[in-house]
Each structure stands twice: as C-alpha cells, then as structure tokens.
Amino acid sequence: MNPAQSNYGWGLPVAASTYADKIDRSLLILHAAMAAIFVLWAVYMAYCLVRYRKENSPKAVYSHKSTLASYTPDVLIFIFEVWLIFIVGVPIWAHIREELPAPEDATVIRVVAEQFAWLAHYPGPDGKFGRMAPSLVDYANPLGLDPQDPDAGDDVASVNEIRVPLGRPVLVTLTARDVIHSFFVPEFRTKQDAVPGMENSIWFEPVMAGRFEIGCAQLCGLGHYRMRGDIFVLPEDEYAAWMAGEQAGRRP
C-alpha cells in the first residue's frame, strides 16, 4: 500500500494544514445545522402524513390565515446565515485568501499547470525567479527558463513533485499555459484554479511531514483524470539538503 493512502478514508482526509481545522469545523457546523433542519422537517412531515391521512382526518380544515409562526423558520435561518457569513465565514475566508504570508517568511513556489502535469518552479537561493519565455519550452526545459538571465541560474524546476519544508508557510503562485486547471490538495483543504493569463496566489502551511496528493479539479481534457502530482513535506534539514543537491547537480 502506498504510504500516502493512510491519509484517506471514509469522510474527510487527514487535516494537514494550519487552516484545515477551521474549514473542517465549518463543514461540521453546516452539516449539523443541515441535519437538524432536515430531521425537523422529516419528523413534522411524517407526523402530518399519518395524522392527517384521509382515514384519520376525513375533512380538511379550510383556512387562509397564514400565521406569523410560518415565518419562524425563515427568520431563524436568516439569523443563522447572518451569523454564519459574518462571524464564521468572512474571517476564515479572509484568513485563507487575503492574509498571504510575506515572501521572505515563506517558501515561494510558482506552479505552472499544463495538459497534464504540474510544473513547479523554485527561485533558488537568490529568491528571484528567472525569466521564462514560451518559445524556450522544450523537453529538457519544461518551464522555458531563459539561460541568459542571471536570476535563472539557480532556479529549480520539477514536474509533478513539489517539495516544501515543514514549519513555514508556502506561497504558491498559480498559472496555466493552455487551459484552466485547478490545484487541489485534499489534505490541505485548498483548491485554486490555475487560469491561463492570470496569476492566482494561495498559501498553506503544512502541519505534518509526509506525502500528499495534488489532483486537478477542473476538466482540462482527456488526461484530466491522470493529472496528479505529489507534495512532499520534508523536515527543514531534509529540504535544505534536497535544495543543496539540486544546486550541486546543476553546477558540476
């Protein structure tokens, strides 16, 4: 069995990012409320169906009065939703979408999606992304990095494998080069479309080391189903060793 498969089961996958718990709690609140509402409806309906069937209630009661009580569910739901949106929802959404970590405190990665692969681009020790040109893309240089650009010299590229260190937020800038894809890591509870012509930034901070799956969540063509990758969350020292190895491999 693949080691990562222990992350998944019936129900939600392992919660492996700092905000995954917040999202799980929202899911729980909502489903509890939904279940409560549904049970109330169902019990009431079942009662009516038995109590007011023709055999038990030969004549219906004529009434055009709509009592104020009928608005109670609407009002309760309304109050619940106001609470849900403004007290629960907005702060979480602001946290996961707007409070992006500063690049100097985070592991910064560019992810370029294409049919049907995830290309990761690391700026390297200098912290600067090298220039890319569409015309330079080929098998050996999947990102199309410009070798003339001094910033590109220490850049690291990888396909379908992303390595990040544990203990720091990861800032991902997403784009696509052909059609829309969607970057989905179930364990991190994060999802963001990679749209050609746009750069969408997201962040997450892993809370455990391990291997996590990247799936594509937006239909992107005949290979949509097999467009998958892995995120390896490594302890800080292993990550540094890997990055150093990449650098060493580059300059023999």
Partner 1 sequence: MTAAVHREESFIGKWIFSRDHKVIGLQYMFTSLVFLLIGFSLILLIRWQLAYPGRPIPFIGDLLPDSLAPGGIMMPDFYNSLGAMHGTIMIFLGIVPLGVGAFGNYFLPLQIGAKDMAFPTLNMSSYWVYFVGGVLMLSSFVLPGGAARAGWTSYVPLSVISSGQTTWLLAMTFLITSSLLGAINFIVTTLNLRAPGLTWSRLPLFAWAQFVTGLILLFAFPVLQAGAVLQLLDRVAQTSFYMPQGLIISGELSQRGGGGNALLWQHLFWFLAHPEVYVLLLPPMGIVAEILANGTRKPIFGYKEVAGSFCFIAVLSFMVWAHHMFVSGLKTSLSYLFMTTTMTISIPSIAILTCFLLSLKDASIRFTVPMLFSLAFLPMFGIGGLTGLPLGFTPTDVYLHDTYYVIGHFHYVVVTGTLIALFGGIYYWFPKMFGRSMNMFWGKVHFWGTIVLMNLIFFPMFIQGLAGVQRRLYDPTVQLHNLTVQPTNVLMSYASWGLLLFQVPFIVNFFWSIFKGARSEENPWQATTLEWACPSPPLPHVNFEKVPTVHRGPYEYSVPGREADFWPQNEEN
Sites for partner 1 among residues 57-116 (CB under 8 A): 57-64, 66, 70-71, 73-74, 77-78, 81, 84-85, 88-90, 92-94, 96-98, 114-115
Nearer to partner 1, 27 or 244 (CB): 27
Do the strands 107-114 and 170-176 form a parallel or antiparallel pair, or are they unpaired? parallel
Interaction with partner 1 in 31-50: which residues (CB under 8 A)? Answer: 31, 33-34, 37-38, 41-42, 44-45, 48-49
- Binding partner 1 (rule: CB under 8 A), the pick from 156, 205, 207, 222 is 222
Strand, coil or helix: 67: coil
**DSSP string of 139-170, one letter each residue:** SS-TT-B-TT-GGGTT-EEEESEEEEETTS-E
**Do the beta carbons of residue 239 and residue 247 sit within 8 Å?**
no
Size of the site for partner 1 (CB under 8 A): 93
Minimum distance between the CB of residue 181 and partner 1, rounded to whole angstroms? 10
Q: Give the shortest CB-156-to-partner 1 separation in angstroms.
A: 21
Name the one range near partner 1 by CB under 8 A: 11-19, 101-109, 155-163, 244-252. 11-19
The runs of H, that is alpha helices, within 83-210 are 90-97
Among 32, 53, 126, 236, binds partner 1 (CB under 8 A): 53
d(C-alpha 6, C-alpha 16), whole Å: 13
Question: By C-beta, is 34 or 159 nearer to partner 1?
Answer: 34
The whole-angstrom separation of Cα 85 and Cα 222 is 38
Residue 246 structure tokens: 């990449």
For partner 1, the binding residues in 152-191 under the rule CB under 8 A are 177-180, 182, 184, 186, 189-191
Least distance from C-beta 151 to partner 1, angstroms? Answer: 19
The minimum distance between CB 127 and partner 1, in angstroms, equals: 25
For partner 1, the binding residues in 120-139 under the rule CB under 8 A are 134-135, 137-138
Task: Output the smallest distance, CB 206 to partner 1, in A.
Answer: 16
Q: Which helix H or strand E contains 42, and what residues bound it?
A: helix 20-51
Give dist(CA 99, CA 93) in Å, integer: 9
Between 146 and 193, CB nearer to partner 1: 193
In angstroms, the CA 56 to CA 251 distance is 88
Closest CA to 199 of 219, 215, 214, 177: 177
Compute the least distance from the CB of residue 60 to partner 1, in Å.
Answer: 4
Q: How far is the CB of 245 from partner 1 (least distance, A)?
A: 26
Q: Which of 108, 216, 233, 243 binds partner 1 (CB under 8 A)?
A: 216
Given 117, 217, 246, 247, the residue binding partner 1 (CB under 8 A):
217
Q: How far apart are CA 228 and CA 219, in angstroms?
A: 13
CA-CA-CA-CA torsion sign (170, 112, 181, 6): negative
